[in-house]
Structures are given as structure tokens and as C-alpha cells.
Amino acid sequence: MVNTNYTLINALRKIIIPQMLPSSGRTNDDESPSPPPSPPQSPPPSPPQSPPPSVVSPLDFIARIDFETNPYIDPNSGMTLLGTDISQVMTEDEDAPEGENTGDYNEKGGANRYIQYTGFSYTQYGISLWVKFTSFKSAWNCIVGLSGYSSSGWRLYLKHDSQKMFFYYQGFKSFDIQVSDWLDTWKHIVITEHLYIDGVKELENIYGRNSGTNDLFIMSATVENQNNYDIEGFVDDVRVYDRTLTQEEATNLYNRVPPP
């Protein structure tokens, strides 16, 4: 009788006790634990962004005449605008680089039509302008210059009879330009450390050409009492800067690339 009870107790123990123990999470079909989830993948780093091209800011100049609005001069520049009243020479040109209006200078004859800034004392500077010749008034056509050219200033001439451009400072520096291509065509000029025409460097190292306070004049040499050096044609978007302009900036001004 005792043996029979002992056998019954052992049988019950085998059935009840395993059901009371906590589950290990394993099954007969899965003897190994599940692998932990993979950590989220970080996105690949973005490639470095190229810096925007160097573009002259529209607020960077110290003086500007665009013939669409009133001429601007930085009050701290020390310069004064003289010459012909801008309103007297404004005219429409559908091909003008900046807007529809441009400056018509000496087209109908007569001198004293020019742009003149007095009090120009900068030794590092940039001058940008568009010009279009309608005819060649004389052998020498002065586009832009700084008074006192024989000592401290300079001039940029177009000389029709020799089919060349000349930069004058205590002697001439000439460089080949097909002058005939300039008639009735807008050309862009930048004078800074170097000379650029239509975004292309044509003459190097022309700084050191201002040793005092001079007059900057455009479309004429009238301020030097040489009226026969006036040119006939148009000018547009004249800008004056108090710093050096780079090759990239000169090219962007020619291409009229907007600021970033």
C-alpha cells in the first residue's frame, strides 16, 4: 500500500511541477534565442558644398549711375558728381545692358557732356562701365581716365587710326583690340589692379596710378582741356568701388550674374 502511494505521488510530481515552473521562452522548434535588432543606420554624410561664386554685391559700390534711378554716391566717399546733368543725356536703347535707359554722350556734337567725379583719392579701386561707340570722333577717343595723367593719373584710349587700345600713364601701353568691332556694340570695361574687357584680362598691374586726389572722368577728357578727345556714343551702368575687383568679379559683372 505504501509503495503504491509513493508511485502515485511521483507520477503526479512529474505532471504538475513542470507546469508551475517559468517558461524559458524556448520551444522545440527554436532552440536558440532571437538575435537583437540591428541599430538604425545613419545616413551617409552629405558631400561638402562648393562656396558660391564671388559676385560683386549691388551694395558694394561707392558710386553708381544706371540711368534708371538717381545717381548714387556714398556720402563717406569724399566724391562729388559733376559734368552734364544726367537727365539731359538719358535716352532709350533696347539693347542697353542695364534697363532700357542709357546715357547718350556727344552723339549730337558739342563738348561738356561727360561724367566727372571729383575728390577721387583711392589707390585701390574698381571702375566698371558699359560703353558703345556710334562713331569715332577723332583719332583719340578717351573712354575713362584720372586727371593728372602725366604725373599721377591715367587714361584709357581707343585710337581709331591704329586699330588699338592704349593705356596711358607716363607713357603709352598699347594692346591689340579690333577697334572696328566696337562700333554699335556694347563693350564692358573694368579697370582695377588689371584691365578687363568683356571679362577678359587685357593688361596687368596698372595700380599705383593715383598718388593724390584727382578727378575721375568718363566719356571725355574735357576736364583736361582736350575736348577733341570726347567720344560719341552711349554709356551705361557706371560703378565705382573702393577696393580691388577680382577676375571672377570682373567676369560676373560682364555676364551680369546676379548676387547669390
pLDDT along the chain (260 residues), means of 10: 55 54 49 65 59 51 90 92 77 84 65 78 90 79 76 76 74 68 90 92 75 77 56 88 93 80
Q: 254 and 189 in contact (C-beta within 8 Å)?
A: no
Query: What pLDDT shows up at residue 63?
Result: 94
**Residues ≥6 apart with Cβ < 8 Å to 47:** none
pTM over 0.85: no
Domain regions of the chain by residue span: 63-255
pLDDT given for residue 110 in this prediction: 44
CATH architecture of 63-255: Sandwich (2.60)
